[in-house]
């Protein structure tokens, strides 16, 4: 396909927990972000932010601070699109 974005599957996401030298990725609104660079700056603290690492953090994020503009704040940390495990061939 012609999408410029990396397509990230659940199994790819699960590995990016920030542990064992991996990147810390999270999903927000169907997009995948590298949240590692933001860890030292998160007002709620690094460990709290990393609760969303390696998983879809959309619901957790929305329960805590739905007013926060993550798209603007993390635009430079966008990795790609979150897609199902086996995307249909096109």
Binding stretches for ligand HEM (CB under 6 A) = 35, 38, 42-44, 48-49, 51-52, 57, 60-61, 64-65, 68, 70, 73-74
Q: Which residue is nearest to ligand HEM (CB)?
A: 44
Would you say 1 or 28 has its CB closer to ligand HEM? Answer: 28
Residue 63: CB minimum distance to ligand HEM, A: 8
DSSP string, 46-89: HHHHGGGTTEE-HHHHHHH-TTS-HHHHTGGGEEEEE--SSPPP
How far is 74 from 42, CA to CA, in rounded Å?
12
> Which residue carries 């972000």 as its tokens?
33
Residue 42: CB minimum distance to ligand HEM, A: 5
Residue 73: CB minimum distance to ligand HEM, A: 4
How far is 60 from 65, CA to CA, in rounded Å?
9
């Amino acid at each position: 396909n012609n999408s410029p974005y990396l397509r990230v599957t659940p199994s790819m996401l699960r590995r990016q927990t920030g542990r064992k030298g991996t990147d810390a990725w999270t999903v927000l609104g169907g997009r995948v972000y590298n949240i590692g660079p933001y860890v030292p700056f998160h007002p709620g603290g690094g460990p709290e932010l990393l609760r969303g690492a390696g998983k879809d953090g959309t619901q957790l994020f929305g329960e805590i601070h739905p007013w926060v503009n993550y798209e603007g704040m993390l635009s430079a940390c966008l990795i790609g699109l979150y897609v199902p495990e086996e995307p249909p061939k096109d």
